[in-house]
Structure 1
Amino acid sequence: MTLTRHPMTDRHRRVLLRPGEWALFAQPRAVVGFVVGLVVVDVLLAVVGLYTTVPRAEEALTAAALVLSGAVCVEAMRRLGMPQGMVRDLLGAWWIPVLLLLPPLYSLITPIPLYVLMQYRIQRAVMFRRVFSAAVVALAGFSASSVFHALVPGPVVLLGGVSGSAEGSALVTGEGIGAAVLCAVLFTLCNTVLIAGAIRLSVPEEPRRTTVWDSESLLLDAVEVCVGLIVAVLCALSLLLLLVVLPPVLLLQRSLLFQQLQTAARTDPKTGLLNAVAWERVAKTELARALRTGCPLAVLIVDIDHFKKVNDTHGHLFGDQVLLGVATTLSHQLRQYDVIGRFGGEEFVVLLPGADMAEACRAAERLRTRVSRMALPVNDTTVTVTVSIGVALLRVHGRDLLELMAAADLALYRAKDSGRDRVCLPVAKSVGATVRSAGDPPADTRGG
């Protein structure tokens, strides 16, 4: 797992006014302390390891071979392209053999050249995030390696390294394999917990399931552990077997990155929501299902009031924080199967499958109220924003997506003209298209 630029952590970006000011110190104090503490611990452990580890030629050769294999994978990433956000890779296929085959000191050192290579060959990420990722891998690897070598004492790499045999390698025994599985899982768990901890410190309200705890991430972790163990066993037998295992690892990594690139193509980079094209595609599918089944459906257009003034007063970086804050609020307040997207600029679109007029207006009013309660910090103060929302109902205001979007847009303009910070429905076109009936919410609502 590689932490580059993630929409959640962008919420805490600040404009750097003085040359040489490192972006780390624009983060919340808890994040600064966490990152600095992690790096200091790694450095201290490396110093101790240098004094306590006896260098062996075969171990240095093994470390060099694994780093070289990892460098080939990094180069393959560069050729395919890197998606934005928190990128999942298969570099664990090389970290796990290092922690199993070599003394713990190597787990602290080997991440450095590969992360330097990633920084200058793939993507110039914010430096402290790259350092943090390397420090996380180093500490997780050192911890797991220390446990493994305590359970399986003695060197694992055979003398000569290039052409060994199974005999004498602790890794191919039943006890060694069990310890290896345990420590590979421990490495993955430590790595995940440290990254999740940094994200939670950065954005406490972010749901765990949207970061590193979802089922897909757990499946990828399991695959990474399995691949790493296979590489470790083959490497313990002979370094020449790395030539056999490298192509399949490259293919797996290519498939993984390709999937992430497809996801990135559907996602708005500033908010993490669906972009306009992807939202429209999903919305048309849901609309066709609602027409076929006779179920209700509603469309909301949400617009941030006076957003240009926010940008002009506090800068575009803070404007990005406002966009992210509103997007996060929408995601938290709506149902899991509601379809949310960024329509462009300061506008968001929401599709509410199964929502009738009353439910759509209640949802819109809840969103309006929650957004108005947001307080975003800037320059030792806080800023609040409001939204105006236009609502349109399937069959009442249109029977296709274009008609619904046009009706919701008219309702949004009505909300703007009525003073903003409110929810509106379109004006009925005729008596046969009445917007509300007895017991329905009014066409213009505010405050409850």
Structure 2
Amino acid sequence: MAATSHAPIKSRDGVSRLAGRWPLLGQRRPLVIYLCAIVAIDLCVIALLTASADVRWPDLVTFGALMACGAVCIEASRRLGMPAGVSRDLLSAWWLPVALLLPPVYALFSPIVLHLLLQVRVRATVLYRRVFSAAAIGLAGCAASFAFHWLVPDPGRLSRGWPVAIVCAVVAAVLFALVNIALIAVAAHTADPESSWRENVWNKESVLLDVVELCLGVTVSICCGLNLALLLFTLPPVVLLQRSLLHAQLQAAARTDPKTGLLNAAAWQREADTEIVRARRSGETLALLIIDIDHFKRVNDAHGHLVGDQVLAAVAAMLRAQLRDYDVVGRFGGEEFVVLLPAADHREARQIAERLRVRIGHMAIPADDALIQVTISVGVALMSVHGDDLIDLLTAADLALYRAKELGRDRVCMPVVPPPAAPPEARPSASAPPHLSQTDPQTPTMPMPMQPVDPGHPNHPQP
């Protein structure tokens, strides 16, 4: 993947081997510091509040009942299945009542209990992510709990339907969501400084799900405050909503490549077939790109597969950032990506392919103590020019990609269709086959690169 312009790749040292066993050590240093700081703050607050807590049996019983409801939801998730990439589980419906009805120290312990169950019963994920998530939710719940108890000294007023208590509960729930989102957004931006804050904070679907979770949390709090037995009536609707949400996420996960978040090969093929049928009916143009990361094996061999996965994710993020919303982009397997460009003509396809090549060539991906730069080779094919169906377009683009690799990588190539028949005196000689493109009348070639080959050339385009 790392091509002629990448930073020197060093052999794996002791730190790299440790990163294989402890993935946190393979992350950016600012991210490691931030995650450790949040977890340390959470532990300090737990120790401080536990030392001064006034433990009462009614509080312990309420806490146990809410955690038991959360455990039932987790068991339902396990039975339905929760693969990587499925992240929304409606557990805030149980964390929030703990924050509103009980002293703040319980809000710190509730995510620890449920995340431990998730790790053991549902899916064992990277440990530092699980620990950080529990710490972030715990601090958010603690902040919400302090705010609510400061505004409403008697939590029983919430279950009695006191309007001010309900408004304060909503305010505390919003505070819970904002603090949790902020802590996670800082982590995401620290992990990828080139990502925009809006991308990390704002997502319409995620915000709607947050609103649903907060409404559920406030409703469960009111019911739980009235009588713990009412949890038996609130639990089935929450489980049903959770199963519906997980089912939708599972359908999305089945279409998505877990390492890059792009469409997987099967889902991309279905989307591409649909676009090709639409283009035939409307008579519009359409282009297909096959993108391959140059010398990807060198990165895996030198830095390990975890770093290789980071490079794949970084390239995928750049593709999403540079392409239009309606372009169909997916991972075809290994280090190969495919892009379908609806309504793109010959010139636009060349410009997009070249822009992707230049942008990705100027990325710097952190790995251990080095910054890896990678290059890509791109094969381009046009509908009605190089083929009329997906198989023909993929074949033409793959041949162009092979030619780009043959010519030295880090370039864009496109097959050229034979020109219309010319008079005998104007036809090229036998040494220049008509199916080869030629940008210089004296130099026939197969697919010609569209920009200078050598990345170190002074005319190499800059982003």
TM-score bucket of the superposed structures, by smaller chain: 0.7 to 0.9
Contact 2:26/2:368 (<8 A) preserved: no
Listed one character per residue, the Cα deviations across residues 253-282 of structure 1 (whole Å, up to 9, x for unaligned) are 111111111111111122111111111111
User: How far 1:15 moved relative to its partner?
Assistant: 7.1
Match of 2:59 in 1: 59
> Which AA in structure 1 matches 2:135?
A
Q: Given the superposition, is the C-alpha separation of residues 340 and 400 from structure 1 closer, same or farther in structure 2, using an over 3 Å criterion?
A: same
> Which AA in structure 1 matches 2:46?
A
Q: Provide the TM-score with structure 1 as the length reference.
A: 0.88
Q: Given the superposition, is the C-alpha separation of residues 382 and 110 from structure 1 closer, same or farther in structure 2, using an over 3 Å criterion?
A: closer
Q: Given the superposition, is the C-alpha separation of residues 51 and 412 from structure 1 closer, same or farther in structure 2, using an over 3 Å criterion?
A: closer
Q: Given the superposition, is the C-alpha separation of residues 355 and 246 from structure 1 closer, same or farther in structure 2, using an over 3 Å criterion?
A: same
Match of 2:428 in 1: none
- Alpha-carbon distance in 2 for matches of 1:274, 1:312: 26
Is 1:444 the counterpart of 2:449? The answer is yes
3-state SS of paired residue (2:284) = coil
Contact 1:279/1:340 (<8 A) preserved: yes
> Which AA in structure 1 matches 2:138?
A
Match of 2:87 in 1: 87
Is 1:268 the counterpart of 2:257? The answer is yes
Match of 1:25 in 2: 25
Contact 1:290/1:353 (<8 A) preserved: yes
- Alpha-carbon distance in 2 for matches of 1:181, 1:319: 44
User: How far 1:286 moved relative to its partner?
Assistant: 1.1
Q: Given the superposition, is the C-alpha separation of residues 385 and 34 from structure 1 closer, same or farther in structure 2, using an over 3 Å criterion?
A: closer
Listed one character per residue, the Cα deviations across residues 277-310 of structure 1 (whole Å, up to 9, x for unaligned) are 1111111111111111111110011112222333
Decide which moves more: 201-210 or 417-426: 201-210
Match of 1:205 among 194, 212, 215: 194
Task: Please give the residue correspondences for 1:113-124 in structure 2 after superposition, counting only pairs within 5 Å.
Answer: 113-124=113-124
User: How far 1:37 moved relative to its partner?
Assistant: 1.8
Contact 1:396/1:435 (<8 A) preserved: no
Match of 1:142 in 2: 142
Match of 1:50 in 2: 50
> Which AA in structure 2 matches 1:444?
P
Match of 1:365 among 343, 349, 354: 354
Decide which moves more: 145-154 or 77-86: 77-86
> Which AA in structure 2 matches 1:259?
A
Decide which moves more: 112-121 or 244-253: 112-121
User: How far 1:20 moved relative to its partner?
Assistant: 11
User: How far 1:335 moved relative to its partner?
Assistant: 1.3
User: How far 1:210 moved relative to its partner?
Assistant: 4.9
Contact 1:83/1:257 (<8 A) preserved: no
> Which AA in structure 2 matches 1:83?
P
Q: Given the superposition, is the C-alpha separation of residues 284 and 177 from structure 1 closer, same or farther in structure 2, using an over 3 Å criterion?
A: same
Listed one character per residue, the Cα deviations across residues 42-73 of structure 1 (whole Å, up to 9, x for unaligned) are 22222332343322222211111001100111
Match of 1:240 in 2: 229
- Alpha-carbon distance in 1 for matches of 2:239, 2:113: 19
3-state SS of paired residue (2:385) = coil
- Alpha-carbon distance in 2 for matches of 1:28, 1:311: 18
Listed one character per residue, the Cα deviations across residues 137-192 of structure 1 (whole Å, up to 9, x for unaligned) are 11000101101011101343xxxxxxxxxxx6565211111101111111111111
Q: Provide the TM-score with structure 2 as the length reference.
A: 0.85
- Alpha-carbon distance in 2 for matches of 1:169, 1:409: 64
Contact 2:293/2:376 (<8 A) preserved: yes
Match of 1:35 in 2: 35
Listed one character per residue, the Cα deviations across residues 182-224 of structure 1 (whole Å, up to 9, x for unaligned) are 1111111111111111111111223455545210000000100
- Alpha-carbon distance in 2 for matches of 1:196, 1:379: 23
Contact 2:415/2:436 (<8 A) preserved: yes
User: How far 1:18 moved relative to its partner?
Assistant: 4.5
- Structure 1: 5+ residue stretches without partners: 1-13, 157-167
Larger RCO (alpha carbons 8 Å, 6+ apart) = 2
Q: Given the superposition, is the C-alpha separation of residues 421 and 233 from structure 1 closer, same or farther in structure 2, using an over 3 Å criterion?
A: same
3-state SS of paired residue (1:274) = coil
Contact 1:377/1:383 (<8 A) preserved: yes
Contact 2:158/2:222 (<8 A) preserved: no
Q: Given the superposition, is the C-alpha separation of residues 39 and 385 from structure 1 closer, same or farther in structure 2, using an over 3 Å criterion?
A: closer
- Alpha-carbon distance in 2 for matches of 1:237, 1:97: 12
User: How far 1:435 moved relative to its partner?
Assistant: 9.0
3-state SS of paired residue (2:194) = coil
- Alpha-carbon distance in 2 for matches of 1:428, 1:73: 59
> Which AA in structure 2 matches 1:199?
A
Match of 2:401 in 1: 412
Match of 1:71 in 2: 71
Match of 2:246 among 244, 257, 267: 257
Match of 1:341 among 316, 322, 330: 330
> Which AA in structure 1 matches 2:17?
L
3-state SS of paired residue (2:276) = helix
Contact 1:284/1:401 (<8 A) preserved: yes
- Alpha-carbon distance in 2 for matches of 1:340, 1:420: 21
- Alpha-carbon distance in 2 for matches of 1:344, 1:135: 35
- Structure 2: 5+ residue stretches without partners: 1-13, 422-433, 440-446, 453-460
Match of 2:183 among 194, 206, 216: 194
Q: Given the superposition, is the C-alpha separation of residues 15 and 419 from structure 1 closer, same or farther in structure 2, using an over 3 Å criterion?
A: same
Decide which moves more: 182-191 or 415-424: 415-424
Aligned length: 421
Task: Please give the residue correspondences for 1:298-447 in structure 2 after superposition, counting only pairs within 5 Å.
Answer: 298-429=287-418, 431=420, 443-447=448-452
User: How far 1:22 moved relative to its partner?
Assistant: 4.0
Q: Given the superposition, is the C-alpha separation of residues 25 and 419 from structure 1 closer, same or farther in structure 2, using an over 3 Å criterion?
A: closer
> Which AA in structure 1 matches 2:122?
I
Contact 1:302/1:349 (<8 A) preserved: yes
Match of 1:99 in 2: 99
- Alpha-carbon distance in 2 for matches of 1:181, 1:212: 20
